[in-house]
Structure 1
Amino acid sequence: MTPLLTTRGLARHYGGLKAVDGVDFSVVPGEIRAIIGPNGAGKTTFVSLICGRVAPSAGMIVFDGNDVTNLPPHRRVRLGIAYTFQITSVFANLTAYDNVALPVQRTLTDGRRHGAVHAGVMSALERVGLAGREHDVAGTLSYGHQRLLEVAMGLALKPRLLILDEPTQGLSDGEIENFITLVREIARDATVLLIEHNMPVVMELADRITVMNGGRILAEGTPQQIRANADVQHAYLGTPEEEGADG
């Protein structure tokens, strides 16, 4: 299958620090791909390069056959790349409804069509379990609900590639179970790239896992292959008894 996203020799250096160091990477349509690794491994910098928030020092990014390496973030959004941040980026003083209405309007030819905006907002909120909270001011929501609101904002863009950076942080056990169901449902229509420290979530959700360490790819494979990889255990997972830890 032709990859939806490919990076070739992708790098980002900050002086002598090689945050991302020559990464070759690809994801196929409909895949749920997890990126894991210890703190400082380069995971967030890598996905920031993909979505355009950070400019590369070297390398190329190809999305759906198009070289997007030098495109600004808003052009990548139009092509179908959506990114939810590691730290929530909701508009705290707006309602949940208005937060989601902003990206919905970007997907409409005529953003003034009230009925279409309303339907898009309510659909996105319902998918993440926030129906009934649409009139709540975003800043008054719990941290976990703010994370879900941000996912709703990403879904409202109708992405082809949805990048989720630490999405289960702050969620209760019950909310995490609902989130797992949600990601599987999203993957019917989109490709999901997931940065996550919660290893049980990663092992349950991911079709394939990419392990980063020191700005490079240490290993790639199925959850079973990654769990059994001695280099990964040494660098990140720890002993088998410690695999459920955050790392």
Structure 2
Amino acid sequence: MMPLLTTKGLSRNFGGLRAVANVDFAMMPGEIRAVIGPNGAGKTTFVSLVSGRIQPSSGMVVFDGADITNLPAYARVRLGVAYTFQITSVFANLSVYDNVALPVQRTLTDGRSKGAVRTGVMAALERTGLADRTHMLAGQLSYGHQRLLEVAMGLALKPRLLILDEPTQGLADSEIDNFIELVRDIARSATVLLIEHNMPVVMQLADRITVFNAGKILAEGTPEQIRANTEVQDAYLGATP
């Protein structure tokens, strides 16, 4: 089986700062991969390069065998790459329903079909537990529910690769268990790349973990391998149980 996503020598400089440095990375289809590391390690810059939100200083991004390095974000969306922060900004003055209807329409050959739009919207909202909030203004949702709305908007694009940047931030403990089940459900039909600081979530969800530090990959492995890695403990995990 070929990797769905590969980066080769991927780098990004901001002035004198090298935020991402020569990163070689590969993900297999259907995988749940977590990216962890201390603040400033380059995690968000890396996924922004993958999604097309920013362009690399050097290196290559390959998606499903095709070089997408120079494609803008909207073209990557059409190929099936969805990034919650880039693609799914919440429109505070629109209803929850209308926020999700916008990306649904992008997936339909006839975006004017109200029945098809409604089916797509409700499927995404039901999966994220927001179906009872369809008529609320997005700006009236709690912060945690706005994050779930972003996930629903990403799902509405029917992605092959869904990139989630800190999705559990703002969720109540009672909502995190449901989120874990949601990601497992998403992984049945898509590949999931997850930046997450909540280590219990990472350890429960991830098939493999990539640890960034100072713009480079410090380590990769299963949750058990990462938990036992002394370099990772020193750089990031500390006394994480």
* Fold conserved between structures, TM > 0.5: yes
Q: Deviations over 1:17-63 (max 9, x none)?
A: 00000000000000000000000000000000000011100000000
CA RMSD, 1 decimal: 0.9
SS of 1:132's equivalent? helix
Q: Tell me, yes or no, if structure 1 residue 134 matches structure 2 residue 150.
A: no
Separation in structure 1 between the aligned mates of residue 189 and residue 6 of structure 2, nearest angstrom: 19
Partner of 1:216: 216
Separation in structure 1 between the aligned mates of residue 78 and residue 89 of structure 2, nearest angstrom: 19
Partner of 1:19: 19
Separation in structure 2 between the aligned mates of residue 164 and residue 139 of structure 1, nearest angstrom: 20
SS of 2:159's equivalent? coil
Deviation at 1:196, TM superposition (A): 0.1
SS of 1:125's equivalent? helix
Structure 1 alignment gaps of length 5 or more:
none
Structure 2 length-normalised TM: 0.98
SS of 1:219's equivalent? strand
Partner of 2:6: 6
SS of 1:56's equivalent? coil
Partner of 1:73: 73
Partner of 1:52: 52
Q: Which amino acid aligns with 1:202?
A: V
Q: Deviations over 1:94-124 (max 9, x none)?
A: 0000000000000000100110000000000
Separation in structure 1 between the aligned mates of residue 46 and residue 234 of structure 2, nearest angstrom: 22
Percent identity, please: 77
Partner of 2:91: 91
Q: Deviations over 1:173-231 (max 9, x none)?
A: 11100000000000000000000000000000000000000000000000000000000
Deviation at 1:89, TM superposition (A): 2.3
Partner of 1:193: 193
Separation in structure 1 between the aligned mates of residue 19 and residue 170 of structure 2, nearest angstrom: 26
User: What is the correspondence of 1:71-220 to structure 2 with a 5 Å cutoff?
Assistant: 71-85=71-85, 89-220=89-220
Structure 1 length-normalised TM: 0.96
Separation in structure 2 between the aligned mates of residue 145 and residue 173 of structure 1, nearest angstrom: 13
Q: Which amino acid aligns with 2:188?
A: R
Partner of 1:230: 230
Separation in structure 2 between the aligned mates of residue 235 and residue 89 of structure 1, nearest angstrom: 32
SS of 1:29's equivalent? coil
Q: Which amino acid aligns with 1:53?
A: R
Separation in structure 1 between the aligned mates of residue 38 and residue 180 of structure 2, nearest angstrom: 22
Deviation at 1:69, TM superposition (A): 0.1
Aligned residue pairs total 240
Runs of 4+ in 1 over 2 A off after TM superposition: none
Q: Deviations over 1:60-96 (max 9, x none)?
A: 000001100000111000000000129x820000000
SS of 2:131's equivalent? coil
Separation in structure 2 between the aligned mates of residue 143 and residue 120 of structure 1, nearest angstrom: 23
SS of 1:3's equivalent? coil
